[in-house]
Amino acid sequence: MASLNKIGVIGLGYVGLPVALEFARDYQVVAFDIDSQRIAELQQGIDITEEMLPQEFEGCDIHFTDQKEDLKDVNFYIVAVPTPVDEHKIPQLDALRQASKTIGEVLSKNDIVVFESTVFPGCTEEICIPEIEKSSGLRYRQDFKAGYSPERINPGDRKHTLRKIKKIVSATDEESLERVYEVYSKVIEAGIFKAKSIKVAEAAKIIENTQRDVNIALMNELSIIFDRVGIRTKDVLEAASTKWNFINFHPGLVGGHCIDVDPYYLSYKSIELGYTPDVILSGRKVNNQIPHFIAHKVATSLVKSDRKLNQCRVLIYGLTFKENVRDLRNSRVFDLVNGLEKFEMHVDALDPHADPNDAEMPSHINLIQDAKGDYDAIILAVAHEDFIQMGSNHLLQHLKEGGVIYDVKTVFPELQSNPACIYLSL
Ligand SMILES: NC(=O)c1ccc[n+]([C@@H]2O[C@H](COP(=O)([O-])OP(=O)(O)OC[C@H]3O[C@@H](n4cnc5c(N)ncnc54)[C@H](O)[C@@H]3O)[C@@H](O)[C@H]2O)c1
């Protein structure tokens, strides 16, 4: 058995890069990605996601590479490749299969492969391990072992960093679990929980995000109801949360590649096993309709104030899938833009965090650098810190008299009593 742990991290995105750099403070790390441009940037200490600062590359024992041969001496693999869904919401496991195949091609006896990508329960042992066995010619359990350790990193969050987040680990058997535990213990300060099995650890991660999705869906549904009642959801939640066991969630746009995706991984597995998960799928349906609900609300308010929709200009603040990140993947703001454009309104969008050249940026989005002129409606879609600092007066400066302000996250509730605008929020 190899005693020295040389770590290989496969996939260096939002999850893999912070993992690789943290491990490289305590271990020798080979950091592998198929994206050669990303590797070239990382070799210069540049992380275009802006999650890791140049100084966080300093003092690390790390070799960034797109050459799989460089992984040959590794004996502990950590996999953090993407696990998206396709347009039919079916899990896309190509990256995971490909990464498993790559590892199989360089795997040696007694190595351990730990998956961190979010998957449905059973995926690691039913899909990834057979790929590794096939390309390595080695046998699972006898020749190599596996683990699963779900990732809880929260991009844009400088407080809950990898070392400070409690980690779940799981593995093939007791012996490999001890080894996985030991390797992670050196890096994770917040404590490590040993899950009963790989499937349990996979399920734990998926329900963390599914629980969040369903709870936000309930808040979004309440928002639609209270809009008809004519009261504000924020006011209701403020009152209800005075009860000791009321759980605090808020309505909002649910996008990104975790909460917006992971419930589909669980429902996929569930349907495969013969059960259609109504609660989970209803939650998804409600959350997916929120951008259209907002677009409709803005349109009807503009019509009520005697404006012609095809002459209305709307400015959206924020395009990324959540606040203070550059990540545009599955941003629900794009659905909001589409919803507004269906009413033939002219939509401009402003987001200092969004890269206009990002492949995820839809070509029809009218991304502007500065608000120009007056708008009939302004939507504060993403509560970036810069926008909060800007203050509500800034929004009013670019709004036509009596125009609509839709404050998705209720950042500026003081506008509610301002006669210069029609103030709406979820
Ligand atoms: N981003 C998050 O907030 C977050 C949080 C927790 C868990 N996760 C999960 O972690 C996993 C990774 O997510 P991410 O956001 O870091 O993805 P990402 O898209 O930011 O990065 C993935 C990286 O993997 C690389 N890659 C793809 N296929 C590869 C292969 N075959 N071999 C080597 N590299 C390959 C890509 O080039 C990319 O650099 C996903 O399963 C995701 O659900 C993400």
Distance between CA 330 and CA 327 in Å, rounded?
A: 9
Nearest CA to ligand 1 atom 11: 117
Nearest CA to ligand 1 atom 7: 151
* Cβ–ligand 1 contact at 81 (below 6 Å): yes
Alpha helices (H) along 241-277: 262-272
* Cβ–ligand 1 contact at 169 (below 6 Å): no
Distances (CA, A) of 300 to 77, 225, 293, 297, 377: 54, 17, 11, 5, 12
Distance between CA 80 and CA 63 in Å, rounded?
A: 17
Which pLDDT value is given to residue 1? 44
- Phi and psi at residue 250, to the nearest 5°: -130, 150
Q: Which of 163, 162, 183 is nearest to 171 (CA)?
A: 183
Q: pLDDT tens-digit profile of 235-250?
A: 999 999 999 999 999 9
Candidate from 10, 68, 81 with most ligand 1 atoms within 8 A of CB, to mutate = 81
Burial 122-144 (b: 16+ CB within 10 A, else e): ebbbebbbebbbebbebebeebb
* Cβ–ligand 1 contact at 65 (below 6 Å): no
* Cβ–ligand 1 contact at 218 (below 6 Å): no
Which pLDDT value is given to residue 159? 86
Distance between CA 340 and CA 143 in Å, rounded?
A: 57
Distance between CA 198 and CA 153 in Å, rounded?
A: 19
Going by C-beta distance under 8 Å and a sequence separation of 6 or more, which residues neighbour residue 335?
288, 291, 292
Q: Judge if pTM exceeds 0.75.
A: yes
* Cβ–ligand 1 contact at 339 (below 6 Å): no
Q: Is 114 exposed, middle or buried (0-12, 13-18, 19+ CB in 10 A)?
A: buried
Query: What letter does residue 91 receive in the DSSP assignment?
Result: B
Residue 414 Cα to ligand 1 midpoint, Å, equals 40
3-state secondary structure 316-328: EECCCCCCCCCCC
Average pLDDT (81-108) is: 97
Candidate from 151, 262, 358 with most ligand 1 atoms within 8 A of CB, to mutate = 151
Residues 415/392, Cβ–Cβ less than 8 Å: yes
Distance between CA 4 and CA 202 in Å, rounded?
A: 27
Q: pLDDT tens-digit profile of 353-364?
A: 999 999 899 999
- Show the tokens assigned to 329: 């993947």
Name the region of 306 (left: φ>0; alpha: ψ -120 to 50; beta: rest).
left
Output 190-195 pairs: Cβ under 8 A, ≥24 positions apart. 190/163, 190/164, 190/165, 190/166, 191/166, 191/167, 192/166, 192/167, 192/168, 193/166, 193/167, 193/168, 193/169, 194/169, 194/170, 195/148, 195/168, 195/169, 195/170
Average pLDDT (139-161) is: 93
Which pLDDT value is given to residue 247? 95
Residue 72 Cα to ligand 1 midpoint, Å, equals 22
Q: Which atom of ligand 1 is nearest to the CA of 32?
A: 33
Q: pLDDT tens-digit profile of 173-203?
A: 999 999 999 999 999 999 999 999 999 999 9
66/372: higher pLDDT:
66
- In percent, the amount of the chain with pLDDT more than 90 equals 94
Q: Which of 135, 141, 148 is nearest to 68 (CA)?
A: 135
Which pLDDT value is given to residue 70? 98
Which residue type does 385 have? Answer: E
Got the DSSP string for 214-230?
Answer: HHHHHHHHHHHHHHHHT
Distance between CA 361 and CA 326 in Å, rounded?
A: 11
**CATH class of this structure's domain 6-195:** alpha beta
* Cβ–ligand 1 contact at 33 (below 6 Å): yes
Which pLDDT value is given to residue 156? 83
Active-site annotation holder among 123, 258, 312, 421: 258
- Show the tokens assigned to 112: 């351990």
Alpha helices (H) along 230-351: 233-240, 262-272, 278-304, 333-342
Which pLDDT value is given to residue 2? 47
Active site residue 60: no
Distances (CA, A) of 148 to 87, 180, 184, 229: 27, 9, 12, 47
* Cβ–ligand 1 contact at 157 (below 6 Å): no
Nearest CA to ligand 1 atom 24: 11
Query: What letter does residue 128 receive in the DSSP assignment?
Result: I
First to last CA, the chain: 57
Per-domain residue ranges for the chain?
Answer: 6-195, 210-425
Residue 112 Cα to ligand 1 midpoint, Å, equals 20
Is there a shared CATH topology between the 6-195 domain and the 210-425 domain?
Answer: yes
- 210-425 placed in CATH 3.30.1380.10: no
Residue 289 Cα to ligand 1 midpoint, Å, equals 27
Average confidence score pLDDT of the chain: 96
Q: pLDDT tens-digit profile of 221-234?
A: 999 999 999 999 99
Residue 379 Cα to ligand 1 midpoint, Å, equals 31
Instruction: State yes or no: pLDDT of 164 exceeds 50.
Output: yes
Instruction: State yes or no: pLDDT of 94 exceeds 50.
Output: yes
* Cβ–ligand 1 contact at 322 (below 6 Å): no
Q: How confident is the model at residue 44 (pLDDT cuts 50, 70, 90)?
A: very high
* Cβ–ligand 1 contact at 12 (below 6 Å): yes
Distances (CA, A) of 28 to 19, 21, 43, 61, 128: 13, 10, 16, 5, 25
Nearest CA to ligand 1 atom 30: 99
Residues 183/113, Cβ–Cβ less than 8 Å: no
* Cβ–ligand 1 contact at 51 (below 6 Å): no
